[in-house]
Structure 1
Amino acid sequence: MASVGFDSDVTWSYLETTDYVWIAILLAVTVGPFIAAARNETSIALAMVLSLLLVMFVQFALSTFDSELFGFEPIHLFSVIPVIFTDSSTAGDPSQFHRIFTAAWLHADWIHVLGNVLVIALAGVPLEQRLGARRWLAVYALGFIGGNLAWIASHPDSGVPAIGASGAAFGILGAYMACWPEDKIEFPLVFLIRAWPVWLIAFVRLGLEVFQMYSVQSGTAGETNIAHMAHVGGFFLAYALARPIARGAPSPLDESGQPATGASRAEAVRSQATARMGGLKNDPWTGAGKPLQGQAARILTRLREEGDELETRRAWLEELAEHTICPVCEGEVLPIMDRGVCELRCGISVRHMRWP
């Protein structure tokens, strides 16, 4: 997280039409990667990396072009400004609470964002494989929330905006340290990129933060725009709460060795997906008094005979979707992948049909 210059106290009442357009663009590039990841069942950690980079591209465009159309400055509206949360005239104002979250998507420059996405990619992806996507998002959020709260608590009178995903990046390290400290991940440390144990990476990175904080406070180092306290706050809040969150995750706590990225991980994911497959005995068409006929009925029979494996079930469900309609509204039936399991849903409303 970094602290940056600030020119004016911009609130929602200052916004113009073009500002709302830019806010919509920022929202789209922020959320878009996560929607794509959910649909394609790809890594949420990598979606976060893409989200942060896309937001930085928008920031770069806004700061590069000198015209009224590009006059919106997101840092004024979306950064964490401690005095806003501590001053009696603004403390508790719900219109400012969004800053705790939005500040984690803004960065001061490309070096700032690249440093954070490096940690999120290298440590975040293997941690996601251990935790699962939803739990990973929870500890990521703990990181940036802990970082922002620590910065506000340690600089209550500051009017300087603080931005960045550094608290979240340190939160990833804190959560990994709490749950699987013996894992080895590829990481740049001591000028070498190699597989280091998580506990060593966390020890070195956190130790450097504490040393830099001490240097600034003791006067042996000059002023800095790096919010070291936010890094420490993100690390320790995620560290403190990661183990309760990790209960029930794909990987058991304190499991030694590498995150299960190979055959063991694939087998675990497959086993979980297979356990979620619904039964095929009862179908929605018969239940609605409209039993399937002809080719659709033959496909349904083959599905029941061969649909005990994930791949064959998906193949027959996709075939069935092409030969039938929703028994409720007669709309299109779509094959949808949900956490590794294929199912048929009504294209108009999932309430009409979701089977098996």
Structure 2
Amino acid sequence: MSVLDWSDILLLTAMLSAAIAPFIWAEHSKTSVALATVLSLLLVSFVQFAESILGGYAMSHSWVVDFLGIKPSIMADPAESYRMVTAAWLHADWLHVLFNILVVALVGVPLEQRLGSRRWMMVYFLGFIGGNIAWIISHPESSIPAIGASGAAFGILGAYMACWPEDKIEFPLLFLIRAWPVWLIVFVRLGLEVLQIYELQSATAGDSNVAHMAHFGGFFLAYLLARPLARGAPSPLDEVSGASGMGRSMAMREQATSRMGSLEEDPWTLSGKPLHGAAARILSRLREEGDELETRRAWLEELSENAICPICDGEIVAEMNGEVCRLRCTLSGSHLNWP
């Protein structure tokens, strides 16, 4: 379509709002980016579904798919590059979106605990960008729009396989829901992809609208770049953890607790500018109650509102590094990074 009317713009605005709102909330509340991604995909799908119901056609036949999906034949035009991102938030039907959010939730959340939120988001982007590139290269003349977060989902699998293949994750596999090692989940999922491609090539299966090459592209790009990306992540590469589900969460929490830092010496006293009044009382409560991640974060956030940088007298903020909260000077991290 060449011209958007007001109703089209309203729909696109609703989809954009649905896509980004969960990430804004996750950043504000310091919650899981993987779960924010699940909610983002679901909300966009609800908007897409509502539009298709009102229009009287299937989700995959909406003008939005044609407008925002990957169309290899036109992707050489820089003006169409927005499709590289927008296509990853659209889906053909509910089965399509549910498969992807299953992987993002069950595999993505423990991977985020390993990588940290920022690195996880980079892996997610690598996945769907790799998937899109693979689809464009393998189908350069196609004008049929390709959509979905499957490349990103396979990218999550690829990154996990590259960095922590022995981790066990609760996942529905081989007709059972139990904790499986990541390498086995990957082996089965990639094996099914190879089998489906073989059936298509040998004409033993009917036509398919599944972009299998996008799955491989997302998986292998994330697999190749995950280890360099994971350097400096909360979890060491190749660390073996037999825990799964709640057990892994507890293990990651214990690891974060061990990195909280000592409260015995504070930078204000060391700089000859001891805190007074409300700030001193907050610091005292912090030392008394700050042995848990949540309580320490709460008191550090309150302290940031009542104290200033001991070096430059500038504003300080409480920032999260993984699950650990620290105070930092807004002018220079070298002034204050405590505890």
Scaled by the length of structure 1, the TM-score of the pair is 0.78
Matched, 1:235 2:219: yes
Aligned to 1:5: none
Shift of 1:302: 3.4
Shift of 1:273: 4.0
Q: Please state whether the residue corresponding to 2:170 is helix, strand or coil.
A: strand
Aligned to 2:312: none
**Of 113, 116, 119, the match for 2:100:** 116
Equivalences for 1:69-88 in 2 at 5 Å? 73-85=63-75
Structure 1 counterpart of 2:12, one-letter code: I
- Which shifted more, 261-270 or 213-222? 261-270
Shift of 1:136: 0.9
Alignment deviations for residues 194-229 of structure 1 (CA, whole Å, 9 cap, x no partner): 111111110111011111112111211111101111
Q: Among all aligned residue pairs of Structure 1 and Structure 2, give the percentage whose two residues are the same amino acid.
A: 56
Matched, 1:60 2:49: yes
Q: Distance in 1 between matches of 2:320 and 2:94?
A: 36
- Are 2:72 and 2:140, in contact at CA under 8 Å, matched by a contact in 1? yes
Matched, 1:270 2:254: no
Scaled by the length of structure 2, the TM-score of the pair is 0.82
Structure exhibiting the larger radius of gyration computed from Cα positions = 1
Aligned to 1:183: 167
Change (3 A) 1:338 1:212: same
Q: Distance in 2 between matches of 1:100 and 1:202?
A: 25
- Are 1:79 and 1:102, in contact at CA under 8 Å, matched by a contact in 2? yes
- Are 2:286 and 2:300, in contact at CA under 8 Å, matched by a contact in 1? no
Structure 2 counterpart of 1:96, one-letter code: E
Shift of 1:338: 3.2
Aligned to 2:25: 36
- Which shifted more, 14-23 or 296-305? 296-305
Change (3 A) 1:221 1:292: closer
Output the aligned Cα RMSD.
3.5
Change (3 A) 1:276 1:30: farther
Q: Please state whether the residue corresponding to 1:274 is helix, strand or coil.
A: coil
- Count how many residue pairs are aligned between Structure 1 and Structure 2: 321
Query: What 5-or-longer segments of structure 2 have no aligned partner?
Result: 310-314
Q: Please state whether the residue corresponding to 1:162 is helix, strand or coil.
A: coil
Alignment deviations for residues 6-49 of structure 1 (CA, whole Å, 9 cap, x no partner): xxxx3xx5112222222221111111111111222221111111
- Are 1:303 and 1:313, in contact at CA under 8 Å, matched by a contact in 2? no
**Of 104, 109, 117, the match for 1:133:** 117
Q: Distance in 1 between matches of 2:148 and 2:253?
A: 34
Q: Please state whether the residue corresponding to 1:14 is helix, strand or coil.
A: coil
Matched, 1:27 2:16: yes
Structure 1 counterpart of 2:181, one-letter code: P
Query: What 5-or-longer segments of structure 1 have no aligned partner?
Result: 1-9, 86-90, 328-332
Matched, 1:253 2:237: yes
Matched, 1:281 2:250: no
Aligned to 2:198: 214
Q: Distance in 2 between matches of 1:14 and 1:277?
A: 64
- Are 1:299 and 1:320, in contact at CA under 8 Å, matched by a contact in 2? no
Change (3 A) 1:137 1:304: closer
Alignment deviations for residues 204-255 of structure 1 (CA, whole Å, 9 cap, x no partner): 1101111111211121111110111111111111111111111111111111
